[in-house]
Chain A
Amino acid sequence: MSDTVETSAVDFQQRALQLAGEQTSAAWLDALRYEGTEQWLAAAWPGRRTELWKYTPLNSLQRGDFRRWGAGQSCDLADDALLTLDAIRLVFVNGEFDAEASDCQAAEVVRFSQANTEQRQVIATHLGKIVDTKRHLFASLSNAWVNDGVLVHVPRNAALKKPVYLVHVSTPGAEAATVNQRTLIVLEDSATAEVIEHFISDEQAQNGFVNSLTEISIGANAALTHYRMNLEEEHLLHIGGVHVVLQRDARYHGFTLAEGSTLKRLDYQIYHRGQGAHADLNGVYLPRNNQLLDYHTNVEHEVPHCTTSEVFRGIIADSARAVFNGRIHIHPDAQKTLAELSNKNLLTSDKAEVDTKPELEIYADDVRCAHGATVAQLDQTAMFYLRSRGLSETQASTMLSFGFVNELLQELPREEVREHLHARLHTLFAKEHFSA
């Protein structure tokens, strides 16, 4: 048995190399591809004993026949699948840019393939440099596979007038296909921007694999509001990462929400590199059926006087499994750090499972940190209250589950995102997976 697994892992690695060889455009990215390929070749395939992948087996990836790059095709999205938003909009279908569906008239946003000399310089400076590929295997694969991507570059003291809305649509093909998706956001000092990444699939059963990587550099006193919604449906495989570097007094406001699929693994990596930086990150995960959804977050407090606030909530339904690993690492120099992390989980079925592990590593002595993780049932007093007003047991538990995640949604500053997710969750919760 283990032999089979080994073989298929090698197969995946070999196929991945072939795919890398097919990425030829933008010759100026050759160096990064080469470096990524070397690292991918040298890296060990994660197994049960690999701490970062302990609860998330990659069998579904190994079993998949990923020999082809995805290609754009017409897709049939529901009318309300996308945000109604006045934005700088770029739409990609299976990784291919869809010019017709896009509306990109802003000098600050460009695809790598269209970048001018100056923008190429920005890309060369940051792309693949923010992420720590030693720790993130699939980031080295992303480098090996890099072809096109999106650069958001906001100059010093500038503010983007509209939000940037990046839409990534997956559709199933006759054969399984692979997508490598890259985003690079660079805010120069005192710049401001809002970026919304929206991953979605059409309503058919999916068979693709998406490897996505978003790197973010926030300059001194700059601020980014960043939404990332991973709403692809069943059977899609998605391994994604968001890697953020914060300079002095920089602010990162992140929100992420994911529905499950066969394999969804999302990493958030935040580096406080300048004093006075602040990061807040809230997240919601909602796996159901047989889905597997894994969030790993890691915040590195490298310097003093930085703050982090992180809240993740999940509802796990049916036979689904969720993994949450939230690490905060306070380096010896990072005095006066304020950091808190909270993770709460609701299980709505006996077969649902969550592996949650908050990790606080503190090497400085003058810090204030708090962390906690809970796995809870619905509040019985609240259940009684709702039922005493005539709501059925199912109605009451659906309402309480909804409230549990809606607490995080209702704080979102962008009304269009809030209302879109509110409506989507109403539909999802009406299916009663998320009622206890």
Chain B
Amino acid sequence: MLDIRNLNARVEGADILRNLSLSIKPGEVHAIMGPNGAGKSTLGNVLSGRPGYEVTSGEVSFKGKDLLEMEIEERAREGLFLAFQYPVEIPGVSNMEFLKAAVDARRKHLGLEEMSSFDFMKLARETSKRVSLDAAFLKRGVNEGFSGGEKKRNEIMQMMLLEPSLCILDETDSGLDIDALQVVAAGVNAMRDSERSFIVVTHYQRLLDFIVPDHVHVLAAGRIVKSGGKELALELEAKGYGWLEDEVA
């Protein structure tokens, strides 16, 4: 699914990712944990092509294609999805219009016809119900005046509608109360299957009680310093990150 080799990236002149390598197979869920400033969010941003994130060396292959050569929208249409840590508010653009344009772009890429407005509205309503968002949110501006939890649920709804092959959740759990967290986790779990992979970037082990990962990686100073199974997350919860940083140093 995804093969990252010796990736180096910088933001505003500062080297953030250093020789990062990671391989993800279809159907796997990888959790990426680490202290603040480790480069966790940078990874998601680099993979999705965010302007300002400069790849200085390394390779990323996504479903056998060179990801770094693709435009932002091409990556999305190929099936890469980033759930934003801070989803953007876009007043004046209705959520429904935005979602339909996104779904149509993906469908077109897959050689499918655009959905009729009627069919799409039906689908959007059903999907909003799955993430416990009132259908009224579909008519509002994109994320406009949404609470933190509502924004994150809107991200998960987009993920459900777009049916990506690789989902990157960038601290989707941060700032969520337990109810909202469970809604988000249930949404992710419902989408897990043998073909779809996930990168779950989180600062807190709590999320991994609900989304149980196949692999856990610890990112520190821009590279993976330790990898293990789900039990690694518990160890981190108990010990913190300090011992790893000491180990690296």
Whether A400 lies near B76 (C-beta < 8 A) is no
Answer whether residue A57 sits at the interface, using C-beta atoms and an 8 A cutoff. no
Answer whether residue A131 sits at the interface, using C-beta atoms and an 8 A cutoff. no
Answer whether residue A386 sits at the interface, using C-beta atoms and an 8 A cutoff. yes
Q: What residues of chain B lie closer than 8 Å to A403, measured between beta carbons?
A: 90-93, 141
Q: What residues of chain A lie closer than 8 Å to B84, measured between beta carbons?
A: 385, 388
Whether B51 lies near A380 (C-beta < 8 A) is yes
Interface residues of A in 382-436 (CB under 8 A from B): 382, 384-393, 395, 399-400, 402-407, 410
Q: How far is the CB of B202 from chain A (nearest CB, A)?
A: 20
What per-residue 1/0 map shows which CB atoms of B142-183 lie under 8 Å from chain A?
000000000000000010001000000000000000000000
Q: How far is the CB of B216 from chain A (nearest CB, A)?
A: 26
A104 to B158 CA separation, bound complex (whole angstroms) = 50
Quick one: which of A387, A389, A407 contacts B92, CB cutoff 8 A?
A: A407
Answer whether residue A381 sits at the interface, using C-beta atoms and an 8 A cutoff. yes
Q: What residues of chain A lie closer than 8 Å to B162, measured between beta carbons?
A: 389-390
Quick one: which of A381, A382, A392, A404 contacts B73, CB cutoff 8 A?
A: A392
Majority DSSP secondary structure for residues of A touching B: helix
Answer whether residue B102 sits at the interface, using C-beta atoms and an 8 A cutoff. yes
Q: What residues of chain B lie closer than 8 Å to A407, measured between beta carbons?
A: 91-92, 141
Q: What residues of chain A lie closer than 8 Å to B87, measured between beta carbons?
A: 385
Answer whether residue B88 sits at the interface, using C-beta atoms and an 8 A cutoff. yes
A400 to B141 CA separation, bound complex (whole angstroms) = 11
Interface centre among A382, A391, A395, A404 (most CB of B within 10 A): A391
Quick one: which of A379, A384, A390, A400 contacts B105, CB cutoff 8 A?
A: A390
A404 to B92 CA separation, bound complex (whole angstroms) = 6
Whether A382 lies near B90 (C-beta < 8 A) is yes
Q: What residues of chain A lie closer than 8 Å to B88, measured between beta carbons?
A: 379, 381-382, 385
Answer whether residue B206 sits at the interface, using C-beta atoms and an 8 A cutoff. no
Q: How far is the CB of B161 from chain A (nearest CB, A)?
A: 10
Q: What residues of chain A lie closer than 8 Å to B75, measured between beta carbons?
A: 388
A420 to B128 CA separation, bound complex (whole angstroms) = 29
Query: Which residue in chain A gives the minimum CB-CB distance to B91?
Result: A407
Q: What residues of chain A lie closer than 8 Å to B65, measured between beta carbons?
A: none
Answer whether residue B137 sits at the interface, using C-beta atoms and an 8 A cutoff. no
Q: What residues of chain A lie closer than 8 Å to B81, measured between beta carbons?
A: 388
Given A390-B77, A395-B101: A400 touches B72 (CB 8 Å cut-off)? no
Whether B90 lies near A385 (C-beta < 8 A) is yes
A399 to B105 CA separation, bound complex (whole angstroms) = 14
Quick one: which of A381, A384, A399 contacts B98, CB cutoff 8 A?
A: A399
Given A381-B88, A382-B88, A402-B92: A391 touches B73 (CB 8 Å cut-off)? yes
Query: Which residue in chain B gives the minimum CB-CB distance to A426?
Result: B97
A7 to B57 CA separation, bound complex (whole angstroms) = 69
A binding-site residues for B, Cβ under 8 Å: 379-382, 384-393, 395, 399-400, 402-407, 410
Enumerate 8 A-B pairs (CB-CB under 8 Å) in ascending A order: A379-B88, A387-B73, A388-B49, A388-B75, A390-B109, A391-B101, A404-B92, A410-B92
Of all A-B residue pairs in the complex, the 5 with the closest CB atoms, nearest first, are: A403-B92, A390-B105, A403-B93, A407-B92, A389-B102
